[in-house]
Amino acid sequence: MSVYLDHAATTPMFDVAIDAMNASLRKLGNPSSLHTEGRSTRKDVEDAREKIAQAIDCLSSEVIFTGSGTEADNAAIKGLFWHTDKKVIIVSSIEHHAVLDPAHWLVEHEGAELIEIPVNSSGTIDLDFLKKVLAERRSEIALISVMHSNNETGVIQPIAEVVQIAGDIPVHCDAVQSFTKVPLSFKELGLFAMTISGHKVGGPLGIGALILRRAVEIPALLHGGGQERDIRSGTLNAPSIVAFAAAVEAHLYDAKKVAALRDLFESGVVAARPDAVINGKGAQRLPGISNITFPGTQSDSLLLLMDSQKVSCSTGAACTAGVHRPSHVLMAMGLSDVLSQSSLRFSFGTTNTEADVAYALSVLPDVIERGLAANAVGRK
Amino acid sequence: MRIIAAMSGGVDSAVAAARAVEAGHEVIGVHLALSSNPQKYRSGARGCCTIEDSHDARRAADVIGIPFYIWDMADEFHEGVVENFMSEYKAGRTPNPCLRCNEKIKFAAVLDRAKAMGFDGVVTGHYARTRESENGRSLHRAVDPLKDQSYVLAVLNREQINGAIFPLGDTEKVDIRKEAQARGLAVAQKPDSHDICFVPSGDNAGWLRDRMGSEVGPIVDQDGNKLGEHKGAYTYTIGQRKGLGLTVPTEDGSPRFVLKIEPVTNTVVVGPREDLAVTSMRGERPIFCGPEVGAAPLRGFVQVRAHGAALDCTYYMENYQLVAELDQPLLGLATGQAMVIYDGDRVVGSATICETA
């Protein structure tokens, strides 16, 4: 059998989303055209926008469709920075590279100053640090960006508190992993901006959205036809938008089931390998992500061995050359360079079963043994 | 068998992996990332460690239909090969990093890791052959003399040879390209790589100067008379004639050659061509691919460069060193190079040249 435990990377499209996408692909009409066909496609897009707005509790005009979560993060970080003449950007040290890299780019090219909020050993950000920085430098701060939950560990961050501490400073939140998995309200959180993505929630690859507070007009990354509040020009990708909304509307994610599978897996792992450490276990986590350190191993060996046993999981980070790199998230939590390269991420979805967990647990002990042996010769 | 195919992104390793699959092995493709800061694009015919090369390897694995992973061996490569390359030059010797890489990385770090993970061996695109006999497996030259790589594999011991598969040794390079084309491998016409992969410019002397500085020192004749100055003794090679920049001519107008490099005094000694002649050599750290050589003299061939001639010699062991006495003198032999002994086309073993006479 083969077992897919990498739902945080991407998860199967729901049938309703595939059906909606197929129907839209067969339809003619540029949503910006004024004739009958154009209006019809535009209606599909606007229906979709309303469904997504409803799911995330925002105004439909606050939904700006993008080509990916990464694009939405870039638009938010760069846009909110260019929106003001303040120069300080605050992000958490465990952000996805889609947030960290545009922030570093602004430091290198636009004179920004970057402050990273540290996390504790459970992977939760240090709110006292944030309070202290704001007490000293509030007037200089352009924006704050903290993810809703971490993509490697699943640890949920205290966004409501961040917004409260921030006051009138714009706060962006990358909610790509959290959306549809845990309760999430754009309005209640009081955010300026939020990022979501289609393929993490049963929709297609290549569609995301920036949720941007009404009347906040940030400079665009893409200029052209003026679509999406003039913030994201480009012909609207109607089939993907429609499918994204269909997946969100169906809301087939079963958080309780996924959390039970995750817990079953983790207790099995710890029983088999008492030295295994579940990262972020002490914190509030998403239902489906389990990040586990196996001391004395190397993640890339473990991944190869799991893959050859038909279990798909993830090592976390890889550089452009495809080489496994120590995870900045785990290192921010205090793990050493070596231990952070001895970790695997298993992420569960609604399509997983108890039999999947049993199979993964059945191959794990041998994989770890071989991984330990491979590491022992590699480091002699 | 379950084997790891080391895939550089070139045509040879791609065809080797494809042949291993056809031979019935369960093959997993692995590209070794040997540089911690790889260049994006391949420049000319040098190197195999760019992101473009790793992409080529991945596409070859896709076409062959095998899993593909990248193993980060940058630290091992730096410690085992690059640092050794520099320290050897610093000591006045001329190392061959390709041998070192085969000995320390491809058939050590990779093979050991593969075995620990439950694989039986490593397949590579080297041009060499192995044969089974009652004495075990032996290493032989490839049929294509222009591509034969048995010289750079002569650092492998018996255990390493037993874990290695070289499917290309029976075929000429031109036919490997044709086969790659027929198999639909996009790398079929990719140029061969030459020179040292971590010196993409091909300028070894410049590369060494950038990393080790260029301390000026004297160029002297055999009597110690100063003839000129050099910019770092380690950038010279025994037998080198060009680039000495000497303005004092010899009495008879004959050219001068580098005879000796003295790293401690940072001195380069030059002299006439005939003084380059070497009739015997001794090598340290002997490694035998087959039965060990003893004190009794044997007849065979010695080769001292990757594509050099096989020279008739008598060889034997003495004081833990491998000795080869040449039938005909050889001009210009640097210490640090590998001496590889052949019995016909069979590789007997190798050693690192430490003394010549």
The 10s digit of each residue's pLDDT in A158-185 is: 999 999 999 999 999 999 999 999 999 9
Mean confidence (pLDDT) of chain A: 96
Domain B2-125+167-189 has CATH 3.40.50.620: yes
Instruction: Answer yes or no: do A370 and B117 touch at CB < 8 A.
Output: yes
- Tell me what pLDDT residue B263 has: 83
- Nearest Cα residue in chain A from B4: A304
How distant is the Cα of A25 from the closest Cα of chain B, in angstroms?
A: 29
Nearest Cα to Cα of residue A149 among A180, A103, A105, A121: A180
How distant is the Cα of B68 from the closest Cα of chain A, in angstroms?
A: 9
Instruction: Give Cα separations from B272 to B222, B235, B245, B251 (angstroms).
Output: 9, 20, 16, 11
- List the structure tokens of A47: 């229906």
With beta carbons less than 8 A apart as the criterion, state whether B341 and B138 touch. no
- Tell me what pLDDT residue B45 has: 47
On whether both A316 and A171 belong to a single domain, the answer is no
Q: What is the DSSP letter of B264?
A: T
Which residue among B48, B49, B197, B289 is the active-site one? B197
What average pLDDT score do residues A238-257 get?
97
Asked if the model's pLDDT at residue B46 lies above 60, the reply is no
Confidence band, pLDDT 50/70/90 cuts, at residue B247: confident
How distant is the Cα of A325 from the closest Cα of chain B, in angstroms?
A: 9
Cβ neighbours of A25 (radius 10 Å): 12
Instruction: Answer yes or no: do B116 and A322 touch at CB < 8 A.
Output: no
Nearest Cα to Cα of residue A120 among A129, A112, A111, A132: A129
Q: Which region, left, alpha or beta, applies to residue B88 given φ > 0 means left and ψ of -120 to 50 means alpha?
A: alpha
Residues 110-129 of chain B whose Cβ lies under 8 A from any Cβ of chain A = 112-113, 115-118
Asked if the model's pLDDT at residue A326 lies above 90, the reply is no
Q: Is B354 marked active-site?
A: no
- Tell me what pLDDT residue B246 has: 84
Instruction: Answer yes or no: do A301 and B117 touch at CB < 8 A.
Output: yes
Please name the member of B38, B112, B118 whose beta carbon is closest to the beta carbon of A321. Answer: B38
- Considering just the CA atoms, what is the radius of gyration of chain B in Å? 21
Greater confidence (B209 vs A56) lies with A56
Instruction: Answer yes or no: do B76 and A378 touch at CB < 8 A.
Output: yes
What average pLDDT score do residues A186-211 get?
98
- Tell me what pLDDT residue A317 has: 61
Instruction: Answer yes or no: do A304 and B112 touch at CB < 8 A.
Output: no
Instruction: Answer yes or no: do B112 and A377 touch at CB < 8 A.
Output: yes
Q: Which residue has the tokens 């029983």?
A: A271
What average pLDDT score do residues B264-291 get?
93
ipTM summary value: 0.87
What average pLDDT score do residues A328-351 get?
95
Instruction: Answer yes or no: do B113 and A378 touch at CB < 8 A.
Output: yes
Tell me where in chain B the CATH 3.40.50.620 domain(s) lie: 2-125+167-189
Instruction: Give Cα separations from A101 to A194, A195, A343, B30 (angstroms).
Output: 17, 15, 23, 29
On whether both A233 and A272 belong to a single domain, the answer is no
Instruction: List phi, psi (to 5°) of B56.
Output: -60, -40
Sheet holding B216-220, edge to edge: B226-231, B216-220, B267-271, B257-262
Model confidence, pTM: 0.90
Enumerate the β-bridge partners of residue A289: A347
Confidence band, pLDDT 50/70/90 cuts, at residue A322: low
Greater confidence (B133 vs B150) lies with B150
- Tell me what pLDDT residue B332 has: 86
Enumerate the β-bridge partners of residue A279: A291
**What is the dihedral sign for C-alpha A50, A53, A58, A62?**
negative
Please name the member of A301, A307, A380 whose beta carbon is closest to the beta carbon of B67. Answer: A307
pLDDT tens digits for A11-66?
A: 999 999 999 999 999 999 999 999 999 999 999 999 999 999 999 999 999 999 99
How distant is the Cα of B273 from the closest Cα of chain A, in angstroms?
A: 46
- Enumerate the residues of chain A whose CB falls inside 8 A of the CB of residue B33: 321-323
CA distance B31 to B50: 11
Please name the member of B28, B70, B112 whose beta carbon is closest to the beta carbon of A322. Answer: B70
Q: Which residue has the tokens 């032996």?
A: B138
> Considering all CA atoms of chain A, what is the largest pairwise distance in Å, rounded to the nearest integer?
71
**Residue of A304, A307, A325, A369 to mutate when probing chain B, most B C-beta within 10 A:** A304
- Tell me what pLDDT residue A259 has: 98
**What is the dihedral sign for C-alpha B30, A369, A372, B100?**
negative
Domain stops at, among A212, A232, A250:
A250
Confidence band, pLDDT 50/70/90 cuts, at residue B292: very high
Cβ neighbours of A243 (radius 10 Å): 30
Cβ neighbours of B60 (radius 10 Å): 32
CA distance A198 to A50: 15
Please name the member of A323, A370, A377 whose beta carbon is closest to the beta carbon of B33. Answer: A323
CATH of the domain at A235: 3.40.640.10
- Tell me what pLDDT residue B243 has: 81
A137 domain-assigned = yes
On whether both A222 and A162 belong to a single domain, the answer is yes
Please report, rounded to a whole number, the percentage of residues in chain A having pLDDT higher than 70.
97
A3 domain-assigned = no
Instruction: Answer yes or no: do A378 and B70 touch at CB < 8 A.
Output: no
- Tell me what pLDDT residue B42 has: 57
* CA atoms lying within 13 Å on the CB side of residue A128: 1
Instruction: Answer yes or no: do A378 and B118 touch at CB < 8 A.
Output: no
Instruction: Answer yes or no: do A301 and B113 touch at CB < 8 A.
Output: yes
- Nearest Cα residue in chain B from A321: B51
Asked if the model's pLDDT at residue B43 lies above 60, the reply is no
Which string of DSSP letters, residue by residue, matches A68-96?
Answer: -HHHHHHHHHHHHHHTSS--EEEEETT--
Domain stops at, among A223, A250, A277:
A250
Asked if the model's pLDDT at residue B30 lies above 70, the reply is yes
Instruction: Give Cα separations from A258 to A124, A246, A271 (angstroms).
Output: 22, 21, 20
- Tell me what pLDDT residue A380 has: 43
With beta carbons less than 8 A apart as the criterion, state whether B15 and B25 touch. no
- Nearest Cα residue in chain A from B52: A321
Instruction: Give Cα separations from B75 to A379, B47, B79, B86, B299 (angstroms).
Output: 10, 17, 6, 15, 41
pLDDT tens digits for B325-353?
A: 999 999 989 899 999 999 999 999 999 99
Instruction: Answer yes or no: do A308 and B28 touch at CB < 8 A.
Output: yes
Q: Which residue has the tokens 């007849």?
A: B299
- Enumerate the residues of chain B whose CB falls inside 8 A of the CB of residue A374: 113, 116-117
Helix (H, G, I), strand (E, B) or coil at A180: coil
CATH of the domain at A275: 3.90.1150.10
Which string of DSSP letters, residue by residue, matches B51-65?
Answer: HHHHHHHHHHHHHHT
State how many domains chain A has.
Answer: 2
On whether both A237 and A293 belong to a single domain, the answer is no
CA distance A259 to A290: 10
On whether both A70 and A178 belong to a single domain, the answer is yes
A1 domain-assigned = no
Please name the member of B69, B76, B117 whose beta carbon is closest to the beta carbon of A374. Answer: B117
Mean confidence (pLDDT) of chain B: 91
A60 domain-assigned = yes
Helical pair B11-22 and B173-182, crossing angle rounded to 10 deg = 70
pLDDT tens digits for A136-160?
A: 999 999 999 999 999 999 999 999 9
On whether both A357 and A321 belong to a single domain, the answer is yes
- Tell me what pLDDT residue B249 has: 81
* CA atoms lying within 13 Å on the CB side of residue A87: 7
On whether both A23 and A106 belong to a single domain, the answer is yes
Q: How many cross-chain Cβ pairs, A to B, lie less than 8 Å apart?
A: 54
CA distance A251 to A210: 20
A8 domain-assigned = no
Enumerate the β-bridge partners of residue A293: A277, A343
- Nearest Cα residue in chain A from B68: A304
Instruction: Name every residue in A having a CB less than 8 A away from some CB of B.
Output: 300-301, 303-305, 307-308, 320-324, 370-371, 373-374, 376-378, 380
- Enumerate the residues of chain A whose CB falls inside 8 A of the CB of residue B54: 321-322
Which string of DSSP letters, residue by residue, matches B78-101?
Answer: IIIIIHHHHHHHHTT----HHHHH
On whether both A45 and A88 belong to a single domain, the answer is yes
- Nearest Cα residue in chain B from A322: B70
What average pLDDT score do residues A78-96 get?
97
How distant is the Cα of A219 from the closest Cα of chain B, in angstroms?
A: 32
A157 domain-assigned = yes
Confidence band, pLDDT 50/70/90 cuts, at residue B41: low
At residue B207, what is the residue type?
W
CA angle A224, A226, A231 (to 5 degrees): 100
What average pLDDT score do residues A299-319 get?
89
- Tell me what pLDDT residue A304 has: 94
pLDDT tens digits for B69-122?
A: 999 888 889 999 999 999 998 888 889 999 999 999 999 989 999 999 999 999
Domain stops at, among A235, A250, A265:
A250
- Enumerate the residues of chain B whose CB falls inside 8 A of the CB of residue A307: 67
Domain B214-271 has CATH 2.30.30.280: yes
A179 domain-assigned = yes
With beta carbons less than 8 A apart as the criterion, state whether A66 and A210 touch. yes
On whether both A317 and A196 belong to a single domain, the answer is no
- Tell me what pLDDT residue B206 has: 86
CA distance A127 to A116: 12
Q: Is B289 marked active-site?
A: no
How distant is the Cα of B337 from the closest Cα of chain A, in angstroms?
A: 27
With beta carbons less than 8 A apart as the criterion, state whether A80 and A218 touch. yes
Produce one character per residue of A97-134: b if its CB has 16 or more CB atoms within 10 Å, e if not. ebbbebbeebeeeeebeebbbebeebbbbeeebbeebb
On whether both A298 and A162 belong to a single domain, the answer is no
- Tell me what pLDDT residue A362 has: 98
- Nearest Cα residue in chain B from A380: B109
- List the structure tokens of A146: 């903290």
Asked if the model's pLDDT at residue B234 lies above 60, the reply is yes
Strands A3-4 and A277-279: unpaired
Instruction: Answer yes or no: do A322 and B33 touch at CB < 8 A.
Output: yes
What average pLDDT score do residues B26-37 get?
88
On whether both A235 and A287 belong to a single domain, the answer is no
CA distance B205 to A253: 62
Sheet holding A343-347, edge to edge: A277-279, A289-293, A343-347
Helical ranges in B183-288 per DSSP H? 204-212
- Domain residues for A156? 15-250
How distant is the Cα of B83 from the closest Cα of chain A, in angstroms?
A: 17
- Enumerate the residues of chain B whose CB falls inside 8 A of the CB of residue A300: 69-72
Tell me where in chain B the CATH 2.30.30.280 domain(s) lie: 214-271
On whether both A337 and A319 belong to a single domain, the answer is yes
Which string of DSSP letters, residue by residue, matches A324-364?
Answer: B---HHHHHTT--HHHHTSEEEEE--TT--HHHHHHHHHHH
- Tell me what pLDDT residue B196 has: 83
